[in-house]
Amino acid sequence: MEGLGVFGQAVLVVFLGGVVGLFYRGLDRKIAARMQARVGPPLRQPFLDLGKLLVKETVIPKTAVAWLFSAAPFLALLASFTALLYLPLGPFGPVLEGHGDAILVLYLLAVPALAMALGGFASGSPLGVVGAQRELVMLMSYEFPLAVVLVAVAWRLSTFGLAPAFSLGTMAAHPLWASLGPLGVIGLAVLFVVLLVVTPAELAKIPFDIPEAETEIAGGLFAEYSGTYLALFYLADAVRTLVMAGLVVAIFVPYGIAGALGLSGAAAAAVDFFFWLFKVFFVMAAAVTTVRVGMARLKVDQIAQGFWLWGTAVALGGLLLLVLDKVVMG
């Protein structure tokens, strides 16, 4: 019965994750259009796009490694949905809590990028190969600052005797802000900013959209994808956006409002869940939508140097402040 319950929860989370991810993609496009003084597409446009792609013919290039080209979109979608199952959803804990932790989520977030790169290499297209190379360079650049953020927060939680420290459920249940001294709060704020900067890079959104770069390499990774396979990548991107925004919320702003409103029971759970959706949307709007509207595409060397030098240095600085806070606070 317990296994059946977990399976039912997983199916519900996967379904809602896909719907909410696509809806947020529609909001992203609408807000970006308004910021650029355009009307923009309707909010349902991502659903229409997905439906249109699903009924179109799927073409596999003659020069492609067919099995790898076909497997890549399924791998990307599966990893994105699996990562979603490790996230706390407002008042609800992770579906797979106890069966993995933040390190596993870190790997799962890297899988879609690797899948897209493999698909690009397997396509047999020179544009796909260039996009795949750029994707791998970018992946190696932003993964280290992201890992530093997760390790720093988990380490500080462990110093308070909270376990399992690497569980996102533990991070969401015990936000660090109120437990740290001044140095620790500054360090945590620095890590917060680093994660916000990493978010659009993880999602390959402007200014970090060099693997696709329609105006340069005609879609790059996706140049040879069509039909169902392109639809799977499209849905995986929407879900991964939800996962990244949910990760930021779980680590740094997991607070609910039901207690402040004097609510309890089902009403409290519903209010806190919708408040979680609002926080996820706010993170997405701040870290993805606003950034891609206000910036131009960066070059490969700028992204690599930026994350390896400045991004990593700032993240390690935040970790150092947490260490000093531990020394001062005892």
Mean pLDDT of the 82-97 span: 89
Main-chain phi, psi angles of 166, to 5 degrees: -85, 0
Measure CA of the first residue to CA of the last residue in the chain; give whole Å. 46
**Confidence label for 63 from pLDDT (cuts 50, 70 and 90):** confident
Read off the pLDDT of residues 267-282 as tens digits, 9 standing for 90 and up: 888 999 999 999 999 9
Determine if the peptide bond prior to 41 is cis (ω within 30°).
no
pLDDT band for position 245 (50/70/90)?
very high
pLDDT at 1: 37
Q: Is the pLDDT of residue 295 over 80?
A: no
Distance CA 78, CA 13 (A): 13
What pLDDT does residue 219 have?
65
Q: What is the mean pLDDT of residues 107-120?
A: 89
pLDDT of 2 reads: 47
Structure tokens at 82: 């699996």
Residue 277 belongs to what domain range? 2-329
User: What is the largest distance, in Å, between two alpha-carbon atoms of the chain?
Assistant: 64
Question: pTM of the full predicted structure?
Answer: 0.89
Euclidean distance between CA atoms 47 and 41, whole angstroms: 12
* Stretch among 76-90, 115-129, 146-160 having the lowest mean pLDDT: 115-129
Task: Specify the pLDDT at position 218.
Answer: 63
Q: What is the mean pLDDT of residues 306-326?
A: 85
The mean pLDDT value for 284-307 works out to 81
Number of compact structural domains in the chain: 1
Residue 216 has pLDDT above 80, yes or no: no
298-321 residues labelled b (16+ CB within 10 A) or e (exposed): beeeebbebbeeebbebbbbbbeb
The pLDDT value given to residue 277: 93
Least confident of 19-28, 153-162, 240-249: 153-162
**pLDDT above 70 (res 330):** no
Distance CA(127)–CA(185), nearest Å, equals 45
Lowest mean pLDDT among 105-109, 116-120, 185-189, 324-328: 324-328
Query: Is the dihedral angle over the CA atoms 24, 25, 26, 31 positive or is it negative?
Result: positive
On whether the CB atoms of residues 247 and 87 are closer than 8 A, the answer is: yes
- Give tens-digit pLDDT for 36-45: 888 888 889 9
Side-chain half-sphere exposure of 298, counting CA atoms within 13 A: 20
